[in-house]
Chains A and B, each alone.
Chain A
Amino acid sequence: MALLQELDTGTPIRTGEPTVTLTIDGRKVSVPPGTSVMAAAALIDNPIPKLCATDNLEAFGSCRLCLVEIESRKGTPASCTTPAEQGMVVRTKTPRLERLRRGVMELYISDHPLDCLTCSANGDCELQTQAGNVGLRDVRYGYDGAKHSQGPIDASNPYFSFESSKCIVCSRCVRACEEVQGTFALTILGRGFGSKVATGGVDFLSSECVSCGACVQACPTATLNEKPVIEHGTPDRTVVTTCAYCGVGCSFKAELKGDEVLRMVPYKAGKANEGHSCVKGRFAYGYATHKDRILKPMIRGRIEDPWREVSWGEAIAHAANEFKRIQSQYGRDSAGAISSSRCTNEEVFLVQKLVRAGFGNNNIDTCARVCHSPTGFGLSKTFGTSAGTQDFKSVAKADVVVVIGANPTDAHPVFASRLKKRLRAGARLIVVDPRRIDLVRSAHIKADQHLTLKPGTNVAVLNAMAHVVVTEGLVDEAFVRERCEIGNFESWARFVADPRHSPEATAAATGVDPLELRAAARLYATGGNAAIYYGLGVTEHSQGSTTVMAIANLAMATGNIGREGVGVNPLRGQNNVQGSCDMGSFPHEFSGYRHVSNDTVRETFERLWGVPLSNEPGLRIPNMIDEAIDGSFKWLYVQGEDIAQSDPDTTHITAGLKAMECVIVQDLFLNETARYAHIFLPGASFLEKDGTFTNAERRISRVRKAIPPLAGMADWEVTMALANALGAPMRYNHPSEIMDEIAATTPTFKGVSYARLEELGSIQWPCNDAAPTGTPVMHVDHFVRGKGQFMLTEYLATEERAGPRFPLLLTTGRILSQYNVGAQTRRTASTVWHHEDVLEIHPFDAEQRGVRDGDLVALASRIGEISLHASVTERVQPGVVYTTFHHAVTGANVVTTDNSDWATNCPEYKVTAVQVRRTNHYSDWQQRDREEGVSLRRMAKELADAAE
């Protein structure tokens, strides 16, 4: 479609019934109370000229362009700051207003460069538009007066430029950074004529700016402009799609010129993000056209051989032949697949269908194994469903927010902005994290309690909180009686009331001050609407599932389920990990979380697909690796997943991969897993295909093809080709047909179709006859399983303990600018931030070891050793160290153990006993890795050239 312009009402749309009726230029309009006159006029397509107003920011009243005349009121009030009132009669176009508006524009232009024709905002500039709108012909002040035309250009940020000479000091950027993003990195320095936008005395890159781009989007002139637009000009068409980074799932308008994406602009109508985004989604899309992209299929005999480019037909045929050979030689269960949590729902559905219908087994797993599988287990046991209970918007109604094992500022930035907005408005915050994350203390935000527990003690802390709730009489009896299994609750209440679970008794193990813990528990139980948000700091533990159940117990006991502002909210990581789980990428479940041994369900699929299906659960990823080392698992199809970098105990993973006979990797780049692959199938990025992603809110959103697939095939087409070659025929002309099949076989998706998605924009499952437009908040009247079930959650300390050899505890996490294994973000300009993983270590621990900030240190666990630079900081507590895993060369997972959650095998990334010492060289693993990185990635350039 041509460039999509969204309506900007100038001031925020208020929710509520349109009970205020006013007349604007003779036309009546009804709006909810609190709506401004400006917004009311915009809604009836009679826009009032404006420059300092935009509808994701509160009214400011600075430009004075939006003046109107209101009957029986003096003067010419600004329509942005004037709320509509019943019976008001407004005129927006009179000779006096015309003179005033032209006078204001004349003043603006008297201090503005006149290079419109060569300006990067030519054709896309609100100042230009308004000057034309008011009929400005003459700037009688002349151009010799005081001016800001010599302002410097700050191009330090890799993605956008700040050209201060074009600034009209409308403060939209400052307000966007405050109100929308919540970082407060910008301000207006000086006053009067000398006012100017500043980033606190340093340039953009060195400032507190997190490069979210809200200011660039808000800026009405060329002052803050995206670099691609400056370089290439304005885009001419829009494709609305969904971000492929994290589980917030922001909606974007990809604005292109031809087949080149010039910028990604957040889509205001996107319900997850409502017009906001972070640095990754907005700016870091360059990896899709990076030179590292592999665009042709490749095969090789042994992994030490160089890669050989081949045609799609040859690659697929080779994969199929190898499959048949291996399955006949080693048996039915010797083959399996790992689906991607970043590919679309349709693509994941096809991969699990390929495994079940094509291989005849259930050896299908996905990366949710290593992140939120405990959520699936824990919430299905307690509530009956494997997903979060709210939508993101619900946080606006929360009075108390608990953030446990999550760092939304870095990992779910757009959600964090919503959370911060609510916190600034007065909601209270409890943070449970061993580390001092940003939310504990940042601009205008202060956590009421920060429980700095020792890594691995989540269950003890939650049991202690439950102990307080039960023993101090803070249980919501009415809710429990009505909505939960009462016998169950009583045995749980007896369990947590035991003195061994009291805050005082657990303090020694957890390291949490009992008074702080009691205060936190009381606040959660009595502070009003209380919501819990959690992340991998909860799930990636040996008691991950137990922790999730403990969280669910707390929410049920205090009645914080079933309405807006409360709930249990897992912050799911990947853009489609929720969808990947929904589609049945589990060895034990079909789509919709139905067990493979469920005969009725299995028979539906058998009838539809025309083949018998196995009713035995298959291999999980760790099992696949173990079986490979044992010699019985030989053929693996990995789509969009890098187990060699992201799974724990790297040495074990690579040993498993090396033991296989045919590893097929389908990805954008030659990632770490591809080093051990025999067939490489080029993947398609989110810009190159149609499909749907499901975000952490269970929201299914469209992904739309903006450019043709660079390698010639979309990922679902590749899986289809493979299936056809294997004799498990698939015939789909378009992903919508795959979605239709999903809807026909999966009750929670019954009402979903591409036509419906076009209509509604996005749909939160369950979407069926009972909920035809989807379900924002779950468990409203009753839990999915009927009555909520309380689970007994005994604390069992992990086997991984600090000891004399390994006295520190390592925990891991992510930062804002890089994404997970960095496969995408390392191939964009975002490398200017965080170009290496560093080890955060407390000053006490650093001093004991003679480590200074920036020193190279060796990080050793009983599993392995790596070297990296140290960052001495008090953000971690004594006894705990922290690092990220964004760079393959760091090898963070060389040191993580094979401990995992008892129920789901989710690895215990968050607790590893380590020792840190100064060193002067990189570890053996890192040296070997560097060599293999070259030797196992060689391309047969000579052969390819000769073939042409």
Chain B
Amino acid sequence: MDIHEYQAKELLSGFGVNVPRGGVAYSPEQAVYVATELGGWHWAIKAQIHAGGRGKAGGVKLCRTYQEVAAAAKGMLGHGGIVVFDDSVDMARQARFAFEFCAKESCGKCTPCRIGSTRGVETVDKIIAGRDRERNIQLVRDLCEVMTDGSLCALGGLAPLPVLSALDHFSEDFARAPARAAAE
């Protein structure tokens, strides 16, 4: 498919097909505006990307209040938003990459990001290698809490989002046998 959902809806309604009402928004504020225009008490915020499986990736959020609308729109339109992969992706390596990216970009001023991002890479490596998996996964979650709540800025503060997202929705990638790595 090479057109977005909203473009498809426009197309179809132009031909008289009944489609659910909706509107496009490019910011959380616009999303709230559209929601008020539409009226009602239930809205679905849906990321407009050329891919399927959006729901599973957290790209479809059901909201009951304007606040939830704004929050959902924010989560998908800014830093730490939607990233799209095909099904050959290894989410454990993506989690490692999230930490690695943070470590590379870190200014180094605050401890959670400066040291945490490096430790995050090392710990995910240990998980991938199959060492002490349970303990290290818990350690990564604890580290994510420290980084989210303790970092000075959003670089360290939001780096854990994709990591937690990967751990929560793609845990199978963290439980793979380390045989392939050993063979290399």
Contact = CB atoms under 8 A, between A and B. Distances in A.
A193 B111 contact: no
Interface stretch (A97-105, A364-372, A611-619, A700-708): A97-105
Interface string A140-179: 1100011000000000000000000000110100000000
Interface string B112-138: 101111110011000000000001000
Interface stretch (A34-42, A58-66, A408-416, A451-459): A58-66
Contacts of A140: 135, 139
Interface size of A as a range: 20 to 34
Given A107-B116, A110-B115, A193-B118, A100 B110 contact: no
A193 B106 contact: yes
Contacts of A837: none
A75 interface: yes
B23 interface: no
Interface stretch (A184-192, A481-489, A781-789, A849-857): A184-192
Contacts of A82: none
A193 B103 contact: yes
Nearest to B151: A64
A625 B120 CA distance: 79
B114 A100 contact: no
A169 B114 contact: yes
Contacts of B135: 140
Interface string B139-167: 10011011001111000000000000000
A326 to B, nearest CB: 73
A111 B111 CA distance: 11
A684 interface: no
A67 B114 contact: no
A62 B145 CA distance: 17
Given A62-B111, A192-B106, A145 B122 contact: yes
A60 B149 CA distance: 17
Given A64-B150, A169-B114, A193 B139 contact: no
Interface string A57-100: 00011111101000000011010000000000000000010011
A913 to B, nearest CB: 57
A598 interface: no
Contacts of B169: none
A111 B142 contact: no
B109 to A, nearest CB: 5
Contact of A64 (B107, B112, B139): B112
Contacts of A78: 152
Contacts of B110: 61-64
Contact of A192 (B103, B119, B123): B103
A126 to B, nearest CB: 14
Nearest to A188: B108
Contacts of B4: none
A195 interface: yes
A195 B114 contact: yes
Contacts of A64: 110-112, 150-152
B105 interface: yes
B149 A108 contact: no
B104 interface: yes
Nearest to B156: A64
A194 interface: yes
Given A140-B135, A141-B139, A146-B118, A195 B111 contact: no
Interface string B80-116: 0000000000000000000000011111111110111
B142 A99 contact: yes
B75 to A, nearest CB: 15
Contacts of B142: 99, 103
A221 to B, nearest CB: 14
B139 A145 contact: no
A191 B106 contact: yes
Contact of B145 (A100, A188, A192, A194): A100
Interface string B170-182: 0000000000000
A613 B103 CA distance: 81
A104 B107 contact: no
Contacts of A60: 109
Contact of B152 (A61, A110, A145, A192): A61
B108 A103 contact: no
B132 to A, nearest CB: 9
Contacts of A63: 110-111
Interface of A is mostly: loop
B161 to A, nearest CB: 15
Contacts of B114: 169, 192-193, 195
Nearest to A170: B111
Contacts of A104: 111-112, 146, 150
B71 to A, nearest CB: 12
Nearest to B146: A103
Which of A78, A107, A171 is packed against the most chain B CB atoms within 10 Å?
Answer: A107
Given A192-B107, A192-B108, A195-B108, A107 B115 contact: yes
B80 to A, nearest CB: 16
A191 B107 contact: yes
A933 B158 CA distance: 73
Contacts of B105: 192
A193 B122 contact: no
Given A62-B109, A188-B108, A192-B107, A103 B115 contact: no
B137 to A, nearest CB: 12
B123 A103 contact: no
Contact of B115 (A61, A67, A108): A108
A668 B7 CA distance: 94
A191 B108 contact: yes
Contacts of A67: 149-150
Contacts of A96: 149
A107 B111 contact: yes
Contact of B143 (A65, A76, A103, A111): A103
A78 B151 CA distance: 10
Nearest to B150: A64
B112 to A, nearest CB: 6
B108 A194 contact: yes
A659 to B, nearest CB: 69
Interface string A95-128: 0100110011001101100000000000000000
A111 B119 CA distance: 10
A520 B135 CA distance: 70
Contacts of B103: 192-193
A332 to B, nearest CB: 74
A141 B107 contact: no
Contact of A111 (B108, B115, B145): B115
Nearest to B125: A145
Nearest to B149: A76
A192 B110 CA distance: 9
Contacts of B116: 107
A792 B78 CA distance: 74
Contacts of B119: 107, 110, 141, 145
B122 A62 contact: no
Nearest to A171: B109
Which of B107, B118, B123 is packed against the most chain A CB atoms within 10 Å?
Answer: B118
Nearest to B152: A61
Contacts of B117: 192-193
A601 B33 CA distance: 89
Contact of B122 (A141, A171, A191): A141
Interface of B: 103-112, 114-119, 122-123, 135, 139, 142-143, 145-146, 149-152
- For the complex of A and B, 5 pairs with smallest distance between CB atoms: A103-B146, A195-B108, A192-B106, A107-B115, A64-B150
Given A107-B146, A192-B103, 13 more contacts: A60-B109, A62-B111, A65-B111, A67-B150, A78-B152, A99-B142, A99-B145, A107-B116, A110-B119, A141-B139, A192-B107, A192-B108, A193-B108
23 contacts: A62-B109, A75-B149, A99-B142, A100-B145, A100-B149, A100-B150, A103-B142, A103-B146, A107-B115, A107-B119, A110-B119, A141-B122, A141-B139, A145-B122, A171-B109, A190-B108, A192-B105, A192-B106, A192-B108, A192-B117, A193-B115, A195-B108, A195-B114
